[in-house]
């Protein structure tokens, strides 16, 4: 049974979240104060922490930063603010996902499931949380990519390919290998599709797409991601 810590100072929200999570089979501990939560989580890390941004004691951003510097507890941030920079800031300091208030408890539960699934996957080395390479941030839960704090709009396939390459830094993949891993069916798609996607990704994330620093070509073999 997974243990989830909820850090939220609004009693109504905290109670609803606790009820839904318990009903879904999770053990839940709640805290209303950021500092108190930091001590408790550090003492005994839960399987996942849900953290509100506006908190007494210590705000959710600082709490996330502290927890990240000490370990890899999966974190979902609750934010009542819709501003994009808040979401991005949260992901950049290492949160795995965020949920904007008001949210449906059912949606939160499904995000919890997804983040836990990813966290377990990362133990097998197959998938993980937010990847940070300098000013490039790739957040698989939110399917969000930011460069120097700005959101980069990617198609689903562009995201999948970037994420796949970034999960295997410096490993070289042929176009057919990428088709198999990212598209899932190599027989019916022209390998040139990969070339096109690489070019579009470079235009979006490389300062100089003609001289890529991240998405590099290995002549005669394929492509690799430089971290």
Binding site residues, Ca ion, CB under 5 A: 9, 52, 54
Nearer to Ca ion, 20 or 225 (CB): 20
The nearest distance, CB 94 to Ca ion, in angstroms, is 20
Residue count of the chain, please give it: 227
Nearer to Ca ion, 8 or 158 (CB): 8
The nearest distance, CB 9 to Ca ion, in angstroms, is 5
The nearest distance, CB 65 to Ca ion, in angstroms, is 17
The nearest distance, CB 23 to Ca ion, in angstroms, is 23
The nearest distance, CB 91 to Ca ion, in angstroms, is 19
User: By beta-carbon distance, which residue lies closest to Ca ion?
Assistant: 54
Nearer to Ca ion, 8 or 160 (CB): 8
The nearest distance, CB 105 to Ca ion, in angstroms, is 16
Nearer to Ca ion, 54 or 172 (CB): 54
DSSP-derived pairing of the beta strands 150-152 and 144-147: antiparallel
Within a 10 A sphere around the Cβ of 207, how many other Cβ atoms? Answer: 11
Nearer to Ca ion, 52 or 158 (CB): 52
Nearer to Ca ion, 55 or 216 (CB): 55
């Amino acid at each position: 049974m997974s243990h989830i810590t909820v850090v939220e100072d609004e009693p109504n929200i905290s109670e609803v979240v606790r009820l839904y999570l318990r009903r879904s089979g999770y053990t839940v501990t709640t805290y209303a104060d950021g500092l108190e939560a930091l001590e408790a989580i550090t003492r005994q890390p839960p399987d996942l922490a849900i953290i509100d941004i506006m908190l007494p004691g210590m705000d959710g951003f600082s709490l996330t930063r502290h927890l990240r510097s000490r370990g890899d507890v999966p974190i979902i941030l609750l934010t009542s603010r819709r501003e994009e920079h808040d979401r991005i800031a949260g992901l950049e300091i290492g949160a795995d996902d965020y949920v904007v208030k008001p949210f449906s408890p059912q949606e939160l539960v499904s995000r919890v499931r997804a983040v836990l699934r990813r966290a377990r996957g990362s133990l097998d080395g197959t998938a993980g949380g937010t990847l940070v390479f300098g000013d490039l941030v790739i957040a698989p839960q939110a399917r969000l990519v930011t460069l120097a704090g700005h959101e980069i709009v990617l198609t689903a396939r562009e995201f999948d390919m970037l994420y796949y390459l970034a999960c295997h830094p410096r490993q070289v993949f042929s176009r057919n290998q990428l088709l198999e891993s990212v598209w899932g069916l190599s027989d019916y798609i022209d390998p040139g599709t990969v070339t096109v996607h690489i070019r579009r990704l470079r235009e979006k994330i490389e300062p100089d797409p003609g001289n890529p620093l991240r998405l590099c070509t290995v002549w005669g073999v394929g492509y690799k991601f430089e971290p």
